[in-house]
Amino acid sequence: MAGEQPYWNPEMETLPRPQLRQLQEARLLAHVPYVYQHSALVRDVWDAAGVHPSHIRSLDDFTAKVPTIDKDMVRVFRERTGDAFGGMHCRPADEICDIHSSSGTTGAPTFLPINRRDIDVFAESFARHYWCAGLRPGHTLSLSLGLYLRPLQALYTAAHRIGAHVALTDWLDIPRLLHTFRYIQPDIHIFLTPPQAFGLRDEMASEGMDPKVLFDPVKAFIWAGDAITPKTRRLVTEEWASVVHDMSGTADLSYVMMECQAHDGLHAHDDLWFLEVVEPGTTTPVAPGERGEFLYTAMMDSSLGFVRWRSEDVGYIATEPCICGRTSTRLYFLGRVGYRVTVRDQMIFPVEIQHVLELFPEFDHGIFQIIRDAGNMDTLKLRLGFRPQDEPALETLRTQLEQHLGDKLGLPIAIHFVPTEDLLVLGPPHKIPRIHEVAAA
């Protein structure tokens, strides 16, 4: 039966890499002139660099000659010209489109249009992920997301394309979400975020609900918003007796990657996006398995000119076929370029801190920030969210936490406690800015 096939799109998901590279080259060479013609920002940046589409005749030309773009360029162009889209919009002004925005966790949100064609393109990508997670015709998808995020329509369009129903809820409306799980009994839930996961855990405990009973119909949760850690994975697999697939990427491009059943890296869709891994802040490529910054090019996006986009994500990739049979690139995320801090010449990422915090039930929610007051600090300083019921024990917990973190990282630690609610309001409901910048004294 069609419902039993392992892939939504067998041809693209198992395409041998030599043919995949040929497809990427053909699509990139077709896309480059279009973006140059229609994106004012891309055209300005390329003209300043002395690059023209006629110079790009191969993938090697593309990676050697095309300049990168980033969010700061978009914001500067927007403020200089008054163009709400920062010069990225590629469609005619009279074309009907929907306007979304970025999360704004690393600066002022940027506006992101999308047309019907691109919704359908991105829905193809999400359908592959859903199918991998187990969504089938007649099933129900629980979709929990902010309206402002660009992938929203592609996410529910993909479920409809499979033949599934969609139940919509908001990020942190935990009572409504529990109500949905109780009565609608969805088969797949997307997106399970850190605040949502621990909000569900606490609400079920307060209501005396058994998560293994409530979540028995759920075939899989799709995790996003922040790095999944061993404890959060165990929360779903052991306490809830379900399955969790990690998902990450960038909502601005609607480019997301997800684990398959092997849980060994996140599968990208290389026929729709072109991925490069470079030394952070440069365009110098690094080999598979080496750490670098991810550059993304949306080869099929007709609404926005995402070409060699600096994602600010740091990680590494694997390009050999997965045991699941998929030949796509697999990504392993380590953190954000902007979320790195240096303490006594040692580079630290937030996920390393989270691995220690999750050992403490009072702080396994992962709501914290790193205080950065210098380029190379003497002490790792944290703003750590606490719940009112834990306030009497904070000083004892401070001593224990500073000792555990110090032993783990080999660094002196200083913790400043902040009510959890004060940190949650700093960003979108699924994540907060991980760095709190403080001017050096």
* pTM score: 0.84
Choose the CATH number for 340-437 among 3.30.420.340, 3.30.300.30, 3.40.190.10, 3.40.50.300: 3.30.300.30
* Phi and psi, residue 66, nearest 5°: -75, 130
Mind listing the pLDDT tens digit for each residue in 170-218?
888 899 999 999 999 999 999 999 889 988 999 999 999 999 999 999 9
Residue 162: its pLDDT value, please? 98
User: In the chain, where are the structural domains located?
Assistant: 1-339, 340-437
> Does residue 239 surpass a pLDDT of 70?
yes
Considering the chain, what is the average pLDDT of its residues?
92
pLDDT of amino acid 171: 80
Least Cα distance to 43 among 80, 73, 84, 75 occurs for 73
pLDDT at 430 over 60: no
User: Please, which residues have CB within 8 angstroms of residue 3's CB and are 6 or more apart in sequence?
Assistant: 136, 137
Model confidence at 104: pLDDT above 70 = no
| Candidate from 266-270, 325-329, 386-390 with smallest mean pLDDT | 386-390
One-letter-per-residue 3-state SS of the chain: CHHHCCCCCHHHHCCCHHHHHHHHHHHHHHHHHHHHHHCHHHHHHHHHHCCCHHHCCCHHHHHHHCCCECHHHHHHHHHHHCCCCCCCECCCCCCCCEEEECCCCCCCCCEEEECHHHHHHHHHHHHHHHHHHCCCCCCEEEEECCCCCCCHHHHHHHHHHHCCEEEEECCCCHHHHHHHHHHCCCCEEEEECHHHHHHHHHHHHHHCCCHHHHCCCCCEEEECCCCCCHHHHHHHHHHCCCCEEEEEEECCCCEEEEECCCCCCEECCCCCEEEEEECCCCCCECCCCCCEEEEEEECCCCCECCCCEEEEEEEEEECCCCCCCCCCCEEEEEEEHHHCEEECCEEECHHHHHHHHCCCCCCCCCCEEEEECCCCECCEEEEEEECHHHHHHHHHHHHHHHHHHHHHHCCCEEEEEEEHHHHHCCCCCCCCCCEEECCCC
106 has pLDDT over 80 = no
pLDDT, position 2 = 46
CA distance 298 to 308: 8
Q: Which of 46, 20, 19 is nearest to 33 (CA)?
A: 46
Residue 308 pLDDT greater than 90, yes or no: yes
pLDDT at position 359, please?
86
Query: What's the pLDDT band for 285 if we cut at 50, 70, 90?
Result: very high
- For the stretch 362-412, pLDDT in tens is 987 788 999 999 989 999 999 999 999 999 999 999 999 999 999 999 999
CATH of 1-339, one of 1.10.357.10, 3.30.365.10, 3.30.70.870, 3.40.50.12780: 3.40.50.12780
User: Can you tell me the mean pLDDT for 292-314?
Assistant: 96
Q: What is the pLDDT of residue 429?
A: 55
Residue 152 vs residue 432, higher pLDDT: 152
Q: Measure the CA angle with vertex 195, ends 314 and 235; round to 5°.
A: 90
